[in-house]
Amino acid sequence: MMRVAEKAKSEGNIKIVEDATCTFCGCLCDDMVLTVDVDAKKITKAKNACVLGKALFLNYEEEDRPFALIGGKEATTAEAVEEAAQILANARFPIIYGMSDTTCETQRKAVGLMDMLGGTIDSTTSVCHGPTGMALQGVGESTATLGEIKNRADLVIYWGGNPAESLPRHFARYAVTAKGMYTPNRKKDRTIVNIDVRHTKSVPVADIFIQVKPGADFELLWALRALVKNRHVDPNIEKKTGVSMKTMKDLVERMKNCRYGVLFFGMGLTMTRGRHFNSAAILSLGSDLNEYTHFIATPMRGHGNVTGADTVVAWQTGYPFGVNFSRGYPKFNPGEFTATDMFVRGDADAGLILASDPGSNFTQAAVDHMKKIPMIVLDPKYTHTAKLARVAFTTAHYGINVPGTAYRSDGVPIELRTCLDSKYPSDEEVITAIYRRVEQLLIAKKRSKGANNKRQKAA
């Protein structure tokens, strides 16, 4: 496990941890200054954190819960590892799901476990920016780091997202009021555009707000692409999208004539009508604009390390989510190998949920199937999913108790500093123990199958 150098000063029972990282959202702000009461095991101050970051740190409390539960009864971690390994080794079509709130080191082990079992691995990407992962394979992307955007972007367009509430420091740290090398006057050096179906809390920071009719994002994106290429656009597009031709042409002129433009897009595009077509359209619009100026298009990611989940699964299998190993090589098929679909159809006969709570947000049909099959849950909290699990492990909290690596939403890896110890194991330790035991069980199974075959031949 990777460990970064401690950057902490202690005085009595008070410890100050500098440059800690908040893992609440994809901004992964790594400028936290945490004041820790070591005796009380509490974080008492979280300087630089936004309201969500403060909620994460200041409400942190290690719950006094059993290390593990088997069938609702208290068990040791070792007993739970044995039970979990037996479930997985005997399953015909197991799945691991979640992974967006844990370290890359754990995600890597989870991919190895499913590879060995010939099962399926999927992350929360499949219910957020999965369509973007699919679109990227088709049309590529023009991209940049958030640092480059902060220093250079003079036209920032938010489309189908509400960072004021979901990524609260996105404006101040990266794209609106941040002071950049070529944007020293902060917001005065930038034009901010917000495109959405409704008036969100992100709209007041924008210089221009364009309200598009629900379900018409693709049509608007395609019209903008046509206008960028000086093609004729049917005037009926105004009725279809609710956006006037004058507004579209004004936006196109701004996009072509800016020095450095960026399109940030959210789940308003990926989880509405059009899905991966919407993502492909906005990524293509960003690429098209490079004929005139420097332009990028990049998704805004919600969970702390959901970008890490995509990155790790992609570097190990070639695909970002929804990957199945039953043929002995990775196969990617969203809709077939994505968790919610596998549960709704009743395909999965065992599930391991890693740092996620699908029991609280999947469809009722998916949850009903999860109740019927043996589920294994690894989570610091006693979640809805943990309540319906056969085996529930209590694990330490990444970024507070556990060090490691997480990927910011722009794909930049950030090392996590710890500030408090935990009596619970990390999910990486639990997954590693399960992996080792499953390996032994599979070897034993193979040997006994071989011996049976020999006996049958001899008979």
* Positions that interact with ligand SF4 (CB under 6 A): 22, 24-25, 27-29, 49-50, 52-53, 167-169
Cβ 28 to ligand SF4, closest distance in Å? 5
Cβ 177 to ligand SF4, closest distance in Å? 13
Surface-to-core class of residue 216, CB atoms within 10 Å of its CB (0-12 exposed, 13-18 middle, 19+ buried): buried
Q: 220 or 306: whose CB is closer to ligand SF4?
A: 306
Cβ 169 to ligand SF4, closest distance in Å? 3
Q: 51 or 443: whose CB is closer to ligand SF4?
A: 51
Q: 149 or 167: whose CB is closer to ligand SF4?
A: 167
Q: 142 or 418: whose CB is closer to ligand SF4?
A: 418
Q: 27 or 251: whose CB is closer to ligand SF4?
A: 27
Q: 175 or 228: whose CB is closer to ligand SF4?
A: 175
- Measured in degrees and rounded to the nearest 5, phi and psi for residue 412 equal -90, 125
Cβ 103 to ligand SF4, closest distance in Å? 16
Q: 150 or 390: whose CB is closer to ligand SF4?
A: 150
Cβ 262 to ligand SF4, closest distance in Å? 18
Q: How many residues does the chain have?
A: 459
Q: 28 or 95: whose CB is closer to ligand SF4?
A: 28
In order of 6, 240, 402, the CA distances from 3 in angstroms are: 9, 54, 9
Cβ 361 to ligand SF4, closest distance in Å? 19
Cβ 380 to ligand SF4, closest distance in Å? 17
Q: How far apart are CA 365 and CA 163, in angstroms?
A: 31
Cβ 180 to ligand SF4, closest distance in Å? 18
Q: How far apart are CA 137 and CA 128, in angstroms?
A: 17
Cβ 179 to ligand SF4, closest distance in Å? 17
Q: 140 or 204: whose CB is closer to ligand SF4?
A: 204
Locus of tokens 């679109």:
135
Q: 28 or 386: whose CB is closer to ligand SF4?
A: 28
Cβ 412 to ligand SF4, closest distance in Å? 13
